[in-house]
Amino acid sequence: MPRLLTLLLTLGSCLLSLNLLAQDAAAGGQTGQDQSEFQLFENLDSATPNNRASSRNTQNIRPSGTAQASPVFTLVGTSRIGSKQTALLKHLDGDIVKVPLTGAVNPIPGHDLYSVVTYGAGQVAVRYPASVPCGDFADQGISCDPQTNIATLSLRTAEAIVRAQQVEIAPAESAELAETALDTPRNPFEALRDRARDGNTADAPPPGRFQPRRIDPTDVPPGMRVVSTPFGDRLVENN
């Protein structure tokens, strides 16, 4: 009887141990699954910037041989401050890209497949990737060399302004304009000053207008002289 009891206790202990092991295994599997799922999300998050960069570069790539409806880049301008040179390019999506020109090959920021290889005042040359053939767009100042797949971007010069045609004036109208110019009244003060200087009082102003007092030179007493102003004459002593 004691031996039977001992056997039952041993069997019960084994069953309990097996049950605990099964629970631990189930818990470990669940934990591993959770860790795998967590690792999966971590990988997706960490890959997001790379996906964005890849997506941006993919936008700039077209199947080889496909004609372009518009240029990938157009030149906005170039600048030089001291020894630093910069080019401003406009991407086809409307973004303005600033490209520092520091060497023989200058990658375009955000568009690493493209690079500026030569540059000068008002002109840059952009090397396209092999998968994107360049094209000519003369109306936008772009010419392409298909052998090297390099597009030359130039600033467009504004068209000359058409000079307005001079209006011809008939001879009769010209004579009338000349007479109008001759009939233009003189400065009244200037006329009075001239008459006083010349001693001529024959051209008196019309009645009803202000008539400044004028002194005849014959009426000037010895030791005095006439000082003329637009408002009249007055006598002063000779110094």
Q: Does residue 35 sit within a domain?
A: no
Flag the least confident range among 52-66, 80-94, 121-135: 52-66
Express as a percent the part of the chain with pLDDT over 70: 55
Residues 141 and 207 in one domain: no
Three-state DSSP at 100 gives strand
Helix or strand run (H / E) with residue 194: helix 188-198
pLDDT for the residue 30:
54
Residues 191 and 133 in one domain: no
Residues 140 and 213 in one domain: no
- Among residues 98, 133, 154, which one ends one of the domains? 154
pLDDT higher than 70, residue 174: no
Residues 139 and 192 in one domain: no
Q: What are the strands of the beta sheet with 84-91, ordered from one edge?
A: 73-81, 84-91, 96-101
Q: Does residue 128 sit within a domain?
A: yes
Q: Does residue 96 sit within a domain?
A: yes
pLDDT for the residue 98:
92
Q: Take residue 8 and report the two structure tokens written for it.
A: 């039952």
Confidence of residue 96 (pLDDT cuts 50, 70, 90): very high
Residue 181 C-beta-side C-alpha neighbours within 13 Å: 6
Query: Looking at the whole model, is its pTM more than 0.75?
Result: no
pLDDT higher than 60, residue 233: yes
Q: Does residue 15 sit within a domain?
A: no
Q: Does residue 209 sit within a domain?
A: yes
Q: Does residue 83 sit within a domain?
A: yes
Q: Does residue 233 sit within a domain?
A: yes
Number of domains in the chain: 2
Q: Does residue 224 sit within a domain?
A: yes
Segments forming the whole domain that contains residue 197: 184-237
Contact 238, 203 (CB under 8 A): no
Task: Tell me how far apart the alpha carbons of residues 153 and 197 are, in angstroms, rounded to a whole number.
Answer: 74
pLDDT higher than 60, residue 29: no
Residues 148 and 98 in one domain: yes
Residues 145 and 191 in one domain: no
Mean residue pLDDT of the chain comes to: 74
Mean pLDDT to the nearest integer, 19-27: 66
Q: 4 or 227: whose pLDDT is higher?
A: 227
Mean pLDDT to the nearest integer, 190-204: 66
Residues 141 and 195 in one domain: no
Residues 191 and 134 in one domain: no
Residues 77 and 119 in one domain: yes
